[in-house]
Structure 1
Amino acid sequence: MSKSRVSLLTLSAATVCGVVGLIVTLILNVFVLDKFDAYGEVKIPGNTQLELPAGEVTVSFHSWVSGDNGLPIPELGLSIFPPAGVADPQVRESIGGSTTMNGDAHRRVWIVQIPAAGTYDVQVDGEVNGFVRPSLAFGHGSSYWYLTWLFAGLLAVSTLGWIAYVLARTRLARPSPPAPSQAATSYEPSDGGVRIEQLKSLAALRDSGALSEAEFEAEKRRVLGGD
């Protein structure tokens, strides 16, 4: 198998793996591995107690929508009260994109840094008129997003490989320019060369009997008279 064919098969395999892997991991991370409500939900308005683990917790607005127009975020208020002796959680706004499946929609609003695992009192309020069963969901995102970036990188590298392959093929297919033609150079014999040729002609005439020896000597002196 030629080196060019091996390169072509390698690029094709890398491209297919990159595209398929990117699509599959995106679907899994968004719709399967995203546990946005893993720790429970709080109705809006409302309050409850939730068991939250130490570390990062996502807080998402959860409601039902019609169509695929996305989920708008209303004015919301969130208060989290820690157990006795535990520092207050750190709340950071982090608006994410809407995820909708069969009318069930959620959208990340905050990321909360929980200092220690325990039972936290959560109070929620907001202007949610017009929303169907609105709530705030506490959970976590997928931990496998690095696979999506890995396949995206593979796809980017294979794309660069295709560009290099096409450029190389184009360069090989381009006809080479014709070699410049060399102009014919005329040869002009020197004076000595002309005299030698004349003497050869005279000798041939003498040998054939066309010139006598005396005539040959006279012509020879004439030719060599310039010396």
Structure 2
Amino acid sequence: MKGRVGPRIAVIAAILTMVVGAAGFFVTLMLNAFVFDEFDAYGEVPVPGSGRLHLPAGEVTISFHTAVTGGTGGGFPVPALQLAISPSAGGPDPVVTETMGSTTSVNNDVRVRIWVAQIPADGTYDIETGGNVRGYIDPRLAFGRDTSSGWLPWALGGLFVAGLAGLAPALVWSSRAGRRPQPLRGPVSLDEPSWPGPLPPPVASYQPTDQGVRLEQLKTLAALRDSGALTAAEFEAEKRRILDG
């Protein structure tokens, strides 16, 4: 029984690792998409159109945000868009880099990250947008921030793969441990305290005396005489010999 404890622990540990990795991976994806990714934290500007937003210094995400009448199907087509950002009070312009992200869809609401802007200073910025957005419902550009962890889903996915890789050898180990012959118990000694039940009483031993031996011999002679094997004279001679020692 003890030989099977190790394999069972290995199998359980591998399964738990897989469960934690898979569950954590999907939970992290959901949190990154709907909690940590505040895609419209600083406001939105219609496409085409213009607007004025207060943007903090640092990195600002810019996403195309619209509504659809059906599902996104095999992919969401992003139209050709134009964007211009300039500070209202003058100063250096933000640096905008195209960074296409994955599509996030909730019911009929769809968004996909298009750009990341490096804002040089905290302040108010004038924004001009344009593009061929015919067929899209209420299209706009959303400005926000993303505090999600990019490495955590990969780490949890690696944890799932590690658990999956460890499950196979654990199952092999467990199957071999189940077929391993168990050692037989050694011979039971009556002197051991583990013997079940009370111990039998010891057998008494005695040494026969000379008188007892003579009596047995005389009984044998009498039986031979009665059976006719000995004559009366032979019986008397043998009895005298036994009695004389």
Structure 1 length normalisation: TM-score? 0.69
Give the count of matched residue pairs. Answer: 175
Higher-Rg structure is 2
Q: Which runs of 5+ in 1 are unaligned?
A: 176-227
User: What is residue 40 of structure 2 aligned with on the other side?
Assistant: 37
One-letter code aligned to 2:7: S
Sequence identity (%): 44
Structure 2 residue 16 is matched with structure 1 residue 13: yes
Q: How far apart are the structure 2 equivalents of 1:143 and 1:99?
A: 14
Q: Distance in 1 between matches of 2:40 and 2:151?
A: 22
Give the aligned partner of residue 105 of structure 2: 100
2:28 is the counterpart of 1:25 = yes
Q: CA RMSD in A?
A: 2.3
Matched AA of 1:78: L
| Aligned twin of 2:133 | 128
Amino acid at match of 1:15: M
Range with bigger deviation, 62-71 or 36-45? 62-71
Find the counterpart in structure 2 of residue 149 from structure 1: 154
Match of 2:118 in 1: 113
Classify the secondary structure of the residue corresponding to 1:149: helix
TM-score for both structures, normalised by structure 2: 0.65
Contact between 1:63 and 1:135, CA under 8 Å: does it hold in 2?
Answer: yes
State the partner residue of 2:63. Answer: 60
The Cα offsets for residues 181-210 of structure 1, whole Å up to 9 and x where unpaired, read as: xxxxxxxxxxxxxxxxxxxxxxxxxxxxxx
> Which residue of 1 is the match for residue 167 of structure 2?
162
Q: Report if aligned partners of 2:62, 2:113 keep a CA contact under 8 Å in 1.
A: yes
Structure 2 residue identity aligned to 1:163: A
- For residue 167 of structure 1, report the CA deviation from its aligned partner: 5.1
Give matches, 1:211-222, under 5 Å. Answer: none
The amino acid that maps onto 1:22 is: F
Query: Contact (CA 8 Å) 1:78, 1:124: kept in 2 or not?
Result: yes
Cα pair 1:71 1:106 within 8 Å, conserved: no
The correspondence of residues 52-91 of structure 1 with structure 2, limited to 5 A, is 52-69=55-72, 70-84=75-89, 86-91=91-96
- Given that 2:7 and 2:173 are in contact with CA atoms closer than 8 Å, whether structure 1 keeps it comes out as no
Give, in whole Å, the separation in 1 of the partners of 2:25 and 2:51: 39
Secondary structure of 1:147's counterpart equals helix
Structure 2: give runs of 5+ residues left out of the alignment.
181-245
